[in-house]
């Protein structure tokens, strides 16, 4: 009998041990699936891979992320590496992509799974990082080579495979391509959790975040006049989100009708489009599919607006400052702008994934914003003194044109970084380039250059009537903020002293005006 009990206990112990081991088996959870098209028309799935210092490369190379679509069921992200110029590359060149992992998963992961696509056999090195999602501050650990074959490749990258002992929680993964140009496809990234408990906690957080986001969207859409809340529970969540985005479009079209109807004084056409909009809203609230009819409606509405823009002179469409000093709509109503900083205007002509979309502006109008702050990088728009980048300039014009469609005003922000030629200083003035490079946001050391840039920009924007303001001289125009203050800018010192001489003539007059004292031994300094 005792033997039977001992055997039973041993069997149970083995069973519990097996169960415990099974409970600790790694669990895969999909994080990024680039084979699927997101529901949101303003989504940027590749933004999840963009972190500070996340993309670095050797001299002569450039790189960006984009999507490649080879049919309805064959879409994936591509990591594109290419020569920046026609100059020959060095013997050993490289490109690095660093992927920051979601904060909610940190400490719970055993690794990640990458599903990659290549058209040729290549080697790829990988490392892990700890210390956060800002790769200027992280620390790299280990190194291992992945050998890719032509076609689809799946790799489980476990932290333990790098044989790094006592490392902190891993926050990112680094991939390095050496002596490789062209595309590397990324179809999916899965998180590998240490156990089911960690995976469940992550899923719970992700599901709650998605639910909260959708609920917030439904609330503000209802506050703006289209209530879809009664459809909750009747439709699946993805279907309801699709209808919510249709509602955003219909709210934005309301702004179009009001703005251009008032401008044209054409009550009949405006009422016609409003009646159609209300009909679409009724169908939407009933849960109907309106994608096709909504697209046809938008096309007709845009044709109406484009026709009016040709008929109504620019001067009649311009925002202005009234005699009472208040900003005013072209129709005469007082105006106060509520608008976000339009970071989607950030320009990278070689990175399609970072370009703005017309839906970005539609989204702002749908949410009820009546303007936007247009972010223009001076370094990008005037890389060579006196010459605007025409491609970038056209993008800014297109954004303002689309903003006017929805009745949005624009505040033009000339933003840093500043052009290299400006940072270096005026050619005929002494400079200390090492000091100047530490304070690139200083705008006052070469006033003529920024005045000239604004003058030519105003000419280029003369037919954009919805400009509300020019933010002169630039964004956050720091004055002598370097370690030596104004002494970092000899040109500024010279101009300042010249102004003082012209204004006060003598040291005594200067001292009296400023109620300050000076030392006689420095009387020749000015």
Residues 274-293: b if buried by 16+ CB within 10 A, e if exposed: eebbeebbeebbeeeebeee
pLDDT of residue 494: 80
Is pLDDT at 141 greater than 50 in this prediction? yes
- Say whether pLDDT at 426 is over 50: yes
| DSSP characters over 306-366 | HHHHHHS-GGGG--EE-TTS-EE-TTS-B------EEGGG---TT-GGGS--HHHHHHHHH
pLDDT of residue 53: 81
Residues 494-506: tens digit of each pLDDT: 878 899 999 999 9
**Quick one: pLDDT at residue 521?**
41
pLDDT band at 91 (very low <50, low <70, confident <90, very high): confident
Answer with the one of 143, 167, 198 that is the final residue of a domain.
198
Task: Verify that 159 and 256 share a domain, yes or no.
Answer: no
pLDDT at 434 over 80: no
48 occurs within a structural domain: yes
90 against 300, higher pLDDT: 300
pLDDT at 476: 79
Q: Residue 5: what pLDDT? A: 47
Q: Do 359 and 280 fall within a single domain?
A: no
**Tens of pLDDT, residues 340-383:** 999 888 766 666 667 899 999 999 999 999 999 999 999 989 99
Same domain, 380 and 457: yes
Are 372 and 449 part of one and the same domain?
Answer: yes
Residue 385 is part of a domain; what is its CATH number?
A: 3.20.20.80
Tokens describing residue 228: 């879809």
The pLDDT assigned to 352 comes to 65
Average of per-residue pLDDT values in the chain: 87
Is the pLDDT reported for residue 444 higher than 80? no
- Domain at 117, CATH number: 2.60.120.430
Does one domain contain both 379 and 294?
Answer: no
Residues 179 and 257 in one domain: no
Whether 206 is covered by a domain: the verdict is no
- Give the pLDDT mean for 52-76: 83
Indicate whether 345 and 474 sit together in one domain.
Answer: yes
19, part of any domain: no
Residue 318 lies in a domain: no
Domain that holds residue 502: 492-522
* Alpha-carbon span 432 to 66, nearest angstrom: 40
Residue 298 sits in the same domain as residue 443: no
Same domain, 336 and 248: no
pLDDT at 75 over 90: no
For residue 34, the model assigns a pLDDT of 92
Domain count along the chain: 4
Whether residues 254 and 346 fall in one domain: no
- Domain-located, residue 204: no
Q: Does residue 210 lie in a domain region?
A: no
Domain boundary among 170, 198, 226: 198
Question: 152 and 31: one domain?
Answer: yes
Regarding whether 457 and 363 lie in a shared domain, the answer is yes
Rounded Cα gap, residues 468 and 475, in angstroms: 16
Lowest mean per-residue pLDDT among 310-314, 327-331, 484-488: 484-488
Predicted structure pTM score: 0.84
Q: Is residue 235 part of a domain?
A: yes
């Amino acid at each position: 009998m005792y033997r039977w009990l001992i055997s039973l206990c041993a069997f149970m112990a083995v069973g519990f041990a097996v169960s415990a081991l099974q409970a600790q088996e790694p669990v895969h959870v999909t994080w990024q699936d680039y084979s699927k098209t997101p529901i949101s028309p303003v989504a940027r799935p590749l933004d999840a891979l963009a972190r500070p210092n996340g993309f670095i490369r050797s001299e002569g190379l450039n790189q960006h992320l984009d999507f490649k679509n080879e049919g309805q069921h064959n879409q994936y992200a591509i990591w594109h590496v290419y020569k920046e110029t026609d100059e020959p590359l060095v013997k050993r060149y490289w490109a690095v992509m660093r992927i920051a992992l979601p904060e909610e998963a940190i400490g719970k992961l055993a690794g990640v799974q990458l599903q990659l696509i290549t058209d040729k056999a290549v080697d790829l090195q990988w490392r892990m990082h700890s210390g956060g999602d800002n790769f200027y501050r992280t620390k790299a650990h280990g190194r291992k080579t992945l050998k890719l074959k032509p076609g689809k490749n799946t790799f489980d990258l476990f932290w333990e495979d790098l044989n790094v002992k006592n490392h902190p929680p891993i926050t990112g993964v680094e991939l390095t391509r050496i002596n490789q140009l062209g595309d590397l496809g990324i179809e999916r990234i899965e998180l590998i959790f240490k156990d089911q408990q960690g995976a469940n906690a992550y899923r719970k957080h992700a599901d709650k975040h998605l639910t909260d986001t959708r609920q917030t969207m439904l609330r503000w859409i209802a506050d703006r006049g289209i209530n879809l809340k009664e459809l909750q529970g009747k439709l699946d969540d993805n279907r309801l989100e699709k209808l919510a985005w249709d509602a955003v479009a219909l709210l934005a079209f309301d702004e179009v009708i009001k703005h251009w109807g008032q401008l044209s004084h054409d009550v009949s056409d405006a009422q016609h489009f409003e009646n159609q909009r209300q009909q679409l809203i009724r169908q939407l609230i009933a849960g109907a599919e309106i994608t096709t009819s909504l697209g046809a409606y938008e096309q007709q509405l845009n044709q109406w607006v484009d026709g009016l823009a040709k008929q109504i002179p620019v001067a009649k469409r311009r925002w202005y400052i009234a005699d009472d000093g208040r900003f005013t709509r072209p129709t005469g109503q007082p105006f106060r702008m509520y608008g976000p900083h339009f970071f989607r205007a950030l320009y990278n002509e070689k990175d399609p994934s970072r370009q703005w979309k017309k839906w970005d502006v539609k989204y702002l109008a749908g949410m009820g914003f009546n303007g936007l702050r247009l972010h223009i990088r001076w370094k990008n728009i005037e890389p060579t003194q006196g010459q605007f980048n025409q491609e970038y300039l056209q993008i800014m014009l297109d954004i303002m044109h689309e903003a006017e469609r929805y009745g949005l005003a624009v505040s033009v922000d000339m933003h840093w970084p500043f052009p290299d030629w400006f940072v270096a200083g005026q050619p005929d003035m002494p400079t200390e380039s090492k000091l100047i490079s530490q304070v690139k946001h200083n705008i006052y050391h070469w006033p003529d250059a920024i005045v000239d840039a604004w003058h030519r920009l105003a000419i280029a924007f003369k037919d954009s009537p919805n400009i509300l303001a020019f933010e002169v001289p630039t964004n956050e125009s720091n004055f002598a903020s370097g370690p030596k203050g104004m002494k970092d800018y000899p040109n500024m010192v010279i101009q300042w002293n010249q102004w003082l001489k012209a204004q006060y003539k003598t040291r005594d007059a200067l001292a009296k005006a400023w109620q300050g004292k000076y030392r006689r031994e420095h009387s020749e300094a000015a």
